[in-house]
Structure 1
């Protein structure tokens, strides 16, 4: 996932991630790149974005899509969700309905790079975005995390879990658990299973699948349900159905603000990339490249993620935010340094086999 020869494609190092902290000082101005974004359309006045809906899409509409249209005159039409199967069908048949996709490595790598446009050089070298977040087929515009969360009442102890080993320790921290299942092709939480067994964050990949499933087997009796949608683990925690869960940091953070008796730790969290990609032969790819560039300007990033708790990909945005709020985001260096980065390259090669095994595992 790097444009640098020093990093294997599809891999992000913690050193590269933390190097971004050096860019935080000062409210640095944006560097407009619209005129530099290439493409074949040139006169594109419309861009169709395949997005995931919900509160995130609403925030993007308010702070990215609508202001972009006002500045450029390019209409933004929102569609989606951007499934790999539909992208494949569009490209294979030449019936391209979408121009820009909220996709990134989790869709690009399993589907194949031939289904996506290479990005122009101007996007591969965006000021404030670490090269590790950029690939010839995607540009990261935000980061999000899956973390360990818990119900402070249901857990039955005043002590807080320190890591995933405590998640597996149902004697010290009693109650049921939930982890991510494999519905809709989403990878199960093998990484957390390895961390619970003493594997360090720097040695997770390549995943020892047998070891990970061995750890899941030990916890299986305490898992009433493997969660499938982002809202589920938070709901299960609030209801007391489980006392601890793997959960999106943004989800549990929102519930905590509403007064739910929940807490979480960044320690051992899995940091993931939210990225844009352009399908091959997109009708309005020039407009898509322009929208990508606009979305990662520091002031735009600060506006979007200053009110929605994902982390900006452009490190310069953090200096433009309220300091306490910035400190609560997953991409803030203090939080990022205790997390690991999702191994998109490994999953791109191994996901089908793991999903099949997980389905057999849960059915047994």
Structure 2
């Protein structure tokens, strides 16, 4: 049994320059291949590809490097190459400026790119092309996670976790997180980035119904956050958030579910309040004017398969997006899987389209509030 104790990278990694120790630089080789590709007859089925269908095709897969990209290759990239005949080349980390430069110059060397869902939602029909769902079978993707221009690469949650030695299992809701009289102590909140989680939570705690959250009233959310400003301790990376839990520096915090599990597995006495969970994800995309769109779609379709998603979870800290996936993880790890019905029925899915259209402005407001 494998456990789920691997890191969630931060946005700083997303924008970092590719170092000498990162994935092999083979992007310049991408895009080659036959003009016509025969993927076989009948409807697409996730996790499959016609044997030898992509013989002679170079396909460049781009992600964030490290354990995550290694897991993606082990689960999908390498077996896809073996079955399809394609040569899968790797590059990374994902940089949005590079995607823009490639598309603007009409010299796209990246074929399938793992990106942030909020960024992708704002680039559909711009830097990203629409996916071909005659080639991609999304029927087993968790409802609400796929769009015209992306499918989820994995999912995790931003969730409140609370110290069980101090509060037992009584912290359940966003109102509890904001109640510093009943639950005194330090709260961990991310700074330097923003996304699904704390703003939704502030609004819910202030009386907004979950199904009426969007468009987010950012000013109202910040006003609610002001009520607990003196109790907030900021973290900027997943590793820092996990360390805060393990050291007991914070009594509760809004953290990534993978990092929360890592802390719990290392002995930290915290438990998640899944009613506060907000689902966020990375997604698979195809840049506009990619040279091998049909091959790219075939890769994405294969990636979405049940066994591929199970292995990805077993290799990384992330939950699968195939509804039938049953990864072999330990009992504690099962409690942190978003596909666990006891979790799935409680969490809220972020409105990725809203975030894609409003991310920059919202981050500016949040950053100003943090430093205010």
Pairwise TM-score range, normalised by the shorter structure: 0.7 to 0.9
Q: Does structure 2 conserve the Cα–Cα contact (< 8 Å) formed by 1:115 and 1:280? A: yes
- RMSD, matched Cα: 2.7
Q: Deviations over 1:300-338 (max 9, x none)?
A: 1122224534222111223x7579565541133321111
- Is residue 367 of structure 2 the alignment partner of residue 359 of structure 1? yes
Q: Out of 52, 61, 84, which is 2:64 matched to?
A: 52
- 1: distance between equivalents of 2:226 and 2:124? 33
Deviation, 1:276, is: 0.6
Deviation, 1:107, is: 1.7
Partner of 1:317: 325
Q: Out of 145, 151, 161, which is 1:149 matched to?
A: 161
Q: Out of 79, 99, 102, which is 1:87 matched to?
A: 99
- 1: distance between equivalents of 2:334 and 2:197? 29
- 1: distance between equivalents of 2:140 and 2:95? 29
Worse overlay, 300-309 or 171-180: 300-309
- 2: distance between equivalents of 1:228 and 1:210? 22
Partner of 1:127: 139
Taking structure 1 as reference, are residues 35 and 118 closer, same or farther at Cα in structure 2, changes over 3 Å only?
farther
Partner of 1:179: 189
Q: Does structure 2 conserve the Cα–Cα contact (< 8 Å) formed by 1:124 and 1:135? A: no
Q: Does structure 2 conserve the Cα–Cα contact (< 8 Å) formed by 1:123 and 1:139? A: no
Which ranges of structure 2 fall in alignment gaps of 5 or more residues? 1-44
Q: Does structure 1 conserve the Cα–Cα contact (< 8 Å) formed by 2:55 and 2:85? A: no
Structure in which a larger fraction of residues adopt helix: 1
Taking structure 1 as reference, are residues 260 and 333 closer, same or farther at Cα in structure 2, changes over 3 Å only?
same
- Is residue 83 of structure 2 the alignment partner of residue 74 of structure 1? no
- Is residue 275 of structure 2 the alignment partner of residue 275 of structure 1? no
Deviation, 1:43, is: 5.8
Correspondence list, 1:104-143, <5 A: 105-130=117-142, 132-143=144-155
Secondary structure at 1:224's aligned position in 2?
strand
Report the TM-score when normalising by structure 2.
0.79
- 1: distance between equivalents of 2:154 and 2:271? 23
Partner of 1:4: none
Deviation, 1:47, is: 1.8
Worse overlay, 101-110 or 240-249: 101-110
Q: Does structure 1 conserve the Cα–Cα contact (< 8 Å) formed by 2:50 and 2:84? A: no
- Is residue 300 of structure 2 the alignment partner of residue 292 of structure 1? yes
- Is residue 62 of structure 2 the alignment partner of residue 62 of structure 1? no
Partner of 1:34: 49
Q: Does structure 2 conserve the Cα–Cα contact (< 8 Å) formed by 1:151 and 1:243? A: yes
- 1: distance between equivalents of 2:258 and 2:197? 19
- 2: distance between equivalents of 1:268 and 1:117? 33
- 2: distance between equivalents of 1:141 and 1:363? 34
Taking structure 1 as reference, are residues 123 and 342 closer, same or farther at Cα in structure 2, changes over 3 Å only?
farther
- Is residue 207 of structure 2 the alignment partner of residue 207 of structure 1? no
Which ranges of structure 1 fall in alignment gaps of 5 or more residues? 1-29
Partner of 1:161: 171
- 2: distance between equivalents of 1:201 and 1:348? 19
Q: Does structure 2 conserve the Cα–Cα contact (< 8 Å) formed by 1:151 and 1:238? A: no
Aligned residues: 326
Q: Does structure 2 conserve the Cα–Cα contact (< 8 Å) formed by 1:56 and 1:308? A: yes
Partner of 1:16: none
Q: Does structure 1 conserve the Cα–Cα contact (< 8 Å) formed by 2:121 and 2:353? A: yes
Q: Out of 326, 347, 355, which is 1:339 matched to?
A: 347
